[in-house]
Amino acid sequence: MSDSQSPKNNEVPTLLVVDSKGDELLCFLEQIVPLSDVEYVLLTPVDTPVSLFRLREDNDPELIKTIEKKEPILEVADVVLQEYDLKLIRSAVTLTITGELDEPEPEELEEKDFDEDSELYELLVNFKVKDDEYGLYIPLDPFFIVGKIIDGNATVLEGEEFDKIQPLIEAELEKRDF
């Protein structure tokens, strides 16, 4: 079901989760929630999740919700991130960044509230593609992924199945004071 990322006993177990397109994401296993003979799992990515926004001068940045893996915007982002010894990973569920990120000083933190579900983001890098400007932002709120384990394999809950199970998982976690 899971393997440990390092031999230390105090490490959180990790789990490789797969989405409906076959894309993978290595995650920390945060919680197991058994419901109706199915093990649902609450996960957080091992690598740093990032969100891609189109930046506009007069408006709030626009979240780009779906993007193809071979999109030219991501190829430019790859080049920009290499300057910081970072690598963009096209994972299941979200884009992630690997590499050493500098921890910002609290007073240097430029938080942006984009009114997208009132989440806060920190700008990682911005760049131009043709005449448009884009930014990769790190969500400052925890980034949870819900999955289920079947025959030892973890899959991402998506669409109607996620909509149906999410309230049940939330209710169970509230009972546990999570």
**Residues 97, 91 contacting (CB under 8 angstroms):** no
Percentages of the chain per state (helix, strand, coil), in multiples of 5: 15, 45, 40
**Residues 42, 146 contacting (CB under 8 angstroms):** yes
Higher pLDDT, 136 or 57: 136
* pLDDT at 6 > cutoff 60: no
Amino acid at 168: L
* pLDDT at 71 > cutoff 90: no
Tokens standing for residue 56 = 């506009």
Amino acid at 146: V
Whole-structure pTM value: 0.78
Mean of the per-residue pLDDT values for the chain? 84
Where does residue 151 rank: exposed (0-12), middle (13-18), buried (19+ CB within 10 A)?
exposed
Q: Which pLDDT value is given to residue 120?
A: 86
* pLDDT at 168 > cutoff 60: yes
Best CA proximity match to 2, nearest among 142, 149, 172:
149
Best CA proximity match to 34, nearest among 127, 155, 173, 158:
173
